[in-house]
Amino acid sequence: MTAYLDTSALIRAWRLKVAPKGYVTRSHSLAEFYSTLTGGLTARIAGVETRIKFTPRDAAQGARETFSGMDFKDLTPVQTLAQLDIAAKKNIQSANIHDLMHAAVATQSGCSEIVTTNEKHFKLVTKLKLTDPADFLAKH
């Protein structure tokens, strides 16, 4: 059994200058990582929340470094459509569909846990163990 790292965990790894190896994620995480960094992260600097945007070049380089050892798994189109049917039955809406897809890949890949800062949304879509990235990365 292995761990699935969602985008929030991989952003945390990038910020800590850690390149996780052998863990599972999906290709979508690359685009989400790039989008998040170029759109900006909110950080607390001297007690003040500050939005920090990264250049496209820095975001692409950060993705290359952070994701270099990851094991990419994805759903087929048929599997993705099946997950949309599940989402409709569970009334999953908006951006929560991405969490459902992450959880489906994690389950399909035999992962024992999902590493994420987004526990609130993942609780709606999976029964897998949810682990905070800071805790996970400190141990691995």
Determine the average pLDDT of the residues in 67-80: 97
**Residue type at position 111:** C
Tell whether the model's pLDDT for residue 140 goes beyond 90. no
CB-based burial, 98-117: b 16+ in 10 Å, e otherwise: bbbbbbbbbebbebebbbbb
Q: Residue 80's pLDDT is what?
A: 97
| Under 8 Å between Cβ of 105 and 126 | no
Q: Residue 22's pLDDT is what?
A: 96
* In the chain, domain spans: 2-139
Residue range 2-139, CATH number: 3.40.50.1010
pTM for this predicted structure: 0.93
Which parts of the chain fold into alpha helices (H)?
7-15, 28-39, 56-67, 77-90, 96-108, 119-122, 133-139
| Under 8 Å between Cβ of 33 and 15 | no
Q: Does residue 43 or residue 137 have the better pLDDT?
A: 137
Three-state secondary structure call for residue 80 = helix
Tell whether the model's pLDDT for residue 6 goes beyond 90. yes
Cα separation values, 1 from 38, 102, 118, 126, Å: 33, 16, 21, 16
